[in-house]
């Protein structure tokens, strides 16, 4: 499994439409076979900051998601609304030695 954490910073005048677009993308993304989790959060202390937490079964599933029509539509729509670049992290499970 691979987890992705993406922090997004949205211009205040685009928050409402960003939320709508992201909820639409989320509703399609959670139906993808290779996605285990696709959560969307708003920062409690800053209404213009958001977090996407996504868990995929494999790297191939990440690549497949990036090729979907709903993702392409989302990224094309929301990209101009960002106030600064996204912060991203990719994580893999820590396996405990037996």
Which domains occur in the chain, in start order? 2-71 (3.30.70.100)
- Write out the two tokens for 45: 């202390």
Amino acid 5: pLDDT:
98
Q: Are 65 and 35 in contact (CB under 8 A)?
A: yes
CA proximity to 62, closest of 28, 21, 29: 29
Q: Are 54 and 4 in contact (CB under 8 A)?
A: yes
Q: Indicate the pLDDT class of residue 95, thresholds 50, 70 and 90.
A: confident
Strand, coil or helix: what is 29?
helix
Amino acid 17: pLDDT:
98
How many angstroms separate the Cα of 56 from the Cα of each of 38, 40, 69?
9, 15, 18
Amino acid 92: pLDDT:
94
pLDDT tens-digit readout, 5-52: 999 999 999 999 999 999 999 999 999 999 999 999 999 999 999 999
Amino acid 97: pLDDT:
65
């Amino acid at each position: 499994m691979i987890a992705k954490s993406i922090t997004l910073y949205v211009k205040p005048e685009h928050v409402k439409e960003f939320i709508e677009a992201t909820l639409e993308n989320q509703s399609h993304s959670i139906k993808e076979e290779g996605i285990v989790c696709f959560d969307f959060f708003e920062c409690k202390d800053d209404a213009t900051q958001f977090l996407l937490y996504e868990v995929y079964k494999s790297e191939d599933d990440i690549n497949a998601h990036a090729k979907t029509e709903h993702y392409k539509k989302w990224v094309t729509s929301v990209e101009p609304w960002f106030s600064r670049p996204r912060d991203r992290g990719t994580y893999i499970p820590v396996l405990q030695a037996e």
